[in-house]
Amino acid sequence: MKYLTAMYISLSESLGIYTPDQLYELFTNKQHSMPISRHRAAIMQSRVFFFCAIFAVLVPTWSLIDLLFLPSPLWAELLVIRILSAIAFIFLAWQARKEPDLNRARWLLAGMLSITPLFYLVSDHWLQAYELSGTEQVIAELYALLPFVMIAGLTLFPLTLKELLFFATPMLAVVVLSSLPQVKSDIPQAVSTIWLFSLILGVAIFASLNQLRYMLSQVNRASYDVLTGLLTRRAGIEMLDLQFRLSLMSDSPLSILYLDLDHFKTVNDIYGHDAGDVVLRTAAQQLNDVVRKGDSVIRWGGEEFIVILPTAAPNEADDVINRIMHAGLGLRPDGAPVTASIGVAEVQADAVNDWKTMIELADHRMYTAKIQGRARSLGVNQAELLWPVAATSNKLAEKSVAQHEVAEES
């Protein structure tokens, strides 16, 4: 029992698993965030492209060896399946250049992994029909290594345990099935082939999970702001880019809100940086609680946030602003409600061609809202919404600043 516990602890430490959530993240992608799925799809597709491009050249080139060492009709028969495999690899490489998408990446990987076992099954069938000896026999035996090469290839992809089992089971079945005829004549040979394959499979699963764990920690670190837990500006830009393209492709609206907290500097100046951090964290939490599941909240800069509202037309963006204003963004240490100046932009109503212009527009409107008195939003067609607590909040914040200035002078 002690031995098993020690094994479990060492396995979880080497995979960096310390919580049930981290274990679940390695098992399935259900809890993976959008940046992780996108990043994983991009990595998988770029690697599928790389290997398919290499195999598309190597597989037909190997015919030269077949030509030199294998008997006449056999090498020509093999050349046919080599050419068919090369065409399949070229097709997969071409598909892998498309927009990263997790489902696409999985099917491409499944395609890449199935070409070689299929090639092996067909070539094995033909090779059995010949009485090979010497170098011919050695060349023929190299074909039996193909499934091993492919299973080792799994180590190059950051996969979940569920995906690994999905990809590995058919390959294990191929090896077991092709070893069955040997069972009658040479049991030790058949058992050692299956045993060796299972060992390589075990190492491949471990290496692939390790890669996934490392990728999860790297992407999480780069994608989520440590203070607020919101998307970082970098991950937010990726999200904006994606949502903008989706909106153009589906001809659907897309709104963004650019929020800048009002008089935030005074919180830092009067109550200290830690108090400022608490205000930021609360405001971020409130924003996250108010938006829908498919919306995204980004910490754009110090006390600036961007909310992405896919499929939201200007009137729906106003609904979200009303919800934010009524739920509030928390309280300042002096008890005044935290408010923000908000600029809105929408793809169709503003007829923008790229997300950068949309951000500039929203930023400009937010700035105008600041000048016009803060605690308000300025939307498409200059539509204005006022924070219900605007007067109280501004007055209290200004009183705090005035008291602070008097205290500093005396």
Ligand X SMILES: Nc1nc2c(ncn2[C@@H]2O[C@H](COP(=O)(O)OP(=O)(O)OP(=O)(O)O)[C@@H](O)[C@H]2O)c(=O)[nH]1
Give residues in contact with ligand X (CB under 6 A): 227, 260-266, 268, 273, 276-277, 280, 302-303, 370, 374
Catalytic residue among 163, 303, 316, 409: 303
In whole angstroms, the minimum distance from the beta carbon of 403 to ligand X comes to 16
In whole angstroms, the minimum distance from the beta carbon of 334 to ligand X comes to 14
d(CA 332, CA 149): 62
Q: Which CB atom, from 69 or from 367, has the smaller least distance to ligand X?
A: 367
Q: Which CB atom, from 38 or from 374, has the smaller least distance to ligand X?
A: 374
Q: Judging by DSSP bridges, how do beta strands 296-301 and 304-310 pair with one another?
A: antiparallel
d(CA 380, CA 331): 29
Tokens standing for residue 192: 């050692």
343 secondary structure, DSSP code: E
Please report how many Cα atoms fall inside a 13 Å half-sphere around the Cα of residue 83, on the Cβ side. Answer: 5
Looking up tokens 């790389």 gives: 50
Q: How many residues does the chain have?
A: 410
Residue 13 is among the residues annotated as catalytic for this protein: no
Residue among 259, 239, 223 at smallest CA distance from 355 = 239
Q: Which CB atom, from 164 or from 261, has the smaller least distance to ligand X?
A: 261
Q: Which H helix or E strand runs over 135?
A: helix 135-143
Amino acid at position 366, single letter = M
In whole angstroms, the minimum distance from the beta carbon of 265 to ligand X comes to 3
Q: Which H helix or E strand runs over 204?
A: helix 187-223
In whole angstroms, the minimum distance from the beta carbon of 371 to ligand X comes to 9
The Cα-based distances of 7 to 1, 11, 12, 162 in angstroms read 10, 6, 9, 22
Q: Which CB atom, from 260 or from 346, has the smaller least distance to ligand X?
A: 260
In whole angstroms, the minimum distance from the beta carbon of 299 to ligand X comes to 9
Q: Which CB atom, from 284 or from 312, has the smaller least distance to ligand X?
A: 284
* Catalytic annotation, residues: 303
